[in-house]
Amino acid sequence: MARHMGDNGEAFRAAITTTTTHKPTPEHPEGRVTVRTSYEGPYASVGAAKSRITWAGRRNSYRNSWDDSVTEITGRVERAVTNWEAVE
């Protein structure tokens, strides 16, 4: 799918970090933490990338009553400067 990347040669992406804290179990007496980072984009503006982080946080931050784990979403916006060249 084609996206408009802006006219200034910059592109932005959302780096979304999901942290899940699990309660202690016999196998893991101290509990355990799972951290995953996913990247979404490119976006033409910082605002569009920030809105994706906000949407992910509202949709995915929760406390799971089944196993008493807690999932938190954080994120940051990353910028890439693109240089275009002709491809033969």
* pLDDT of the residue at 82: 77
Dihedral of CA atoms 2, 5, 9, 11 in degrees, nearest 10, equals -110
* pLDDT of the residue at 30: 87
Model confidence pTM above 0.85: no
Nearest Cα neighbor of 43 from 21, 14, 68, 20 is: 14
* pLDDT of the residue at 83: 76
Can you give the residue ranges of every domain in the chain? 10-81
A 10 A CB-CB count for 4 gives 9
Instruction: Give CA–CA dist 31/19, Å, rounded.
Output: 13
* Per-residue pLDDT tens digits for 11-70: 899 999 999 888 888 888 888 899 999 999 989 889 999 999 998 888 776 666 666 778
